[in-house]
Amino acid sequence: MTERREPPARNDAWPPSAVIYDAETIAARVRALAAEIDAAYEAEDRLLVVGLLKGSFIFLADLVRALSMPVQVDFLVVSSYGDAKVSSGRVRLEYAARSSMEGRNVLLVEDIVDSGTTLEDVVPRLLGLGARSVEICTLLHKRLGGSRHEPRFVGFDAPNAFLVGYGLDHAEDFRQLPYIASL
């Protein structure tokens, strides 16, 4: 006889109820961002799009499918939150992009910009690898200031709350939600 196991307890906040941006609003804004990027890089032969994992993966996938220009995609994995709701202030590079940056225009795709700590580390790193330019596209921007590297392309101004869904997580939970909610 097999032992009957109870399902794991769900996070008390499951599912988040305070929806900030619904799926339809996000989809429309991603299409508009893609049009802005297409216009900005219309003379570009091939744009290198670098996503910051893990949070940007859903946004990046939708964004590159909406672009009309040829792109190459690569990723960086950086961490500054861990399981906390507040950045540690220290950025750890856990996986570096494999594509050559030399002479390339790079579009760095981020899920959310709050303190700007990640950008302060990553942008100089990409420029140091020989990127011709690095522009930032973020789905959400909290506009807390403090970063020398402001995003050129911004999906939404975000409230000063801890947000989850559409790739954003808390301790690896909530990424799969098709909307963005506060936790």
- Helix, strand, or coil (residue 72): strand
Q: What is the pTM of this model?
A: 0.84
178 and 164 in contact (C-beta within 8 Å)? no
Structure token digits, residue 50: 């670098």
Cβ atoms within 10 Å of 164's Cβ, excluding its own: 23
pLDDT in tens, the chain (183 residues): 434 334 334 555 666 668 999 999 999 999 999 999 999 998 877 899 999 989 999 999 999 999 999 999 999 988 765 554 555 566 666 666 788 899 999 999 999 998 888 888 899 999 999 999 999 999 999 988 767 889 999 999 999 889 999 999 988 889 999 999 998
The rounded Cα 138 to chain-centroid distance in angstroms is: 6
Phi, psi of 11 (to 5 degrees): -60, 140
**Spatial distance between the Cα atoms of 86 and 84, rounded to a whole number of angstroms:** 5
Q: Which residues are catalytic?
A: 114
Domains and CATH numbers, the chain: 24-160 (3.40.50.2020)
